[in-house]
Amino acid sequence: MELEFLGTGAGVPAKHRNVTSIALKLLDERNAVWLFDCGEGTQMQILRTNIRPRKIEKIFITHLHGDHIFGLPGLISSRSFQGGDEPLEIYGPAGIKQFVLNALKISQTRLAYSLKFIEVKPGVIFYDDQFTVTCDLLDHGIDSYGYRVAEHDHDGQLQVDKLVALGIKPGPIFGKLKKGETVTLPDGRTVSGKDFVGAAKTGRTVTILGDTRISDASIALAKTSDVLVHESTFNKNEAKMARNYYHSTTHQAAEVAKRAQVKRLILTHISARYLAQDALNLEKEAQEIFPNTKIAKDFDIVDIPFQNEIKE
């Protein structure tokens, strides 16, 4: 499970930051990529990565401002020419279906795959045997959503090497041991599956918020997440401006992370006026409240390990 930041800028593209798009790479988990927002130029950014558009299974749109959706028609169209024939699901606020279909209709674009639109409301919007995705409304003037992606817990793995070392051959017996059952072997030995199943792994959780003021909904959605991705459009001294424009400051993003008891905070949606050292200062400001904070740059990759795999 990895996050790859395809665009980390706010409002308009800049030389050093494209507008918003984030890929959640689930290649080991389900051989798929989930995209969060798709600002102008996202498909050009993808060309500079190892992401294959045909692997994009779902696109989650936080809100309908242009810097978050203007790349959608181009990416959807190009996916047809890049081996994409599997269905694509697009989640987002009411209006996302009309926006995409109008663009495709007017441009007479024909796709080699089907589109499914899910216009979201607060609550669970996706569930299968691997993941649950929940969303909630934030505070941004227009409907803006945050998405919480919660991986389900993993059962412990059967320690096959240990069993083979004891002369136990693979077969139906392995299935019984995996369930923790006690099995009597043909030679009379008794083996308990509980002795040969590794520790279970707690599923990982990633919360990606759209543009928003600081809000209780943000804190609740991000609760105990392994990673929180939060916008940071303004510095700590610009709280009044942030409120007027329905955005957050560095300190406000850090306060959400602290109150939600997340493990890591990644700042994104950075204004083009913050260059080089000024951008690093945003990171330092957030660290005053929440030390485990990083500011994202385009093409940064954030690995999300299981907690028992984290090296101190």
**Distance (Å, whole) CA 37 – CA 227:** 17
**Distance (Å, whole) CA 308 – CA 51:** 28
Joined tokens for residue 172: 């139906």
What does DSSP assign to residue 54?
G
> Which residues belong to the active site?
67
**Strand extents, DSSP E, the chain:** 2-7, 21-26, 32-36, 56-60, 88-92, 115-119, 123-127, 131-137, 145-151, 182-184, 190-192, 205-209, 227-231, 264-268, 293-295, 301-303
- Relative to beta strand 115-119, strand 88-92 is parallel
Beta bridge partners of 118: 91
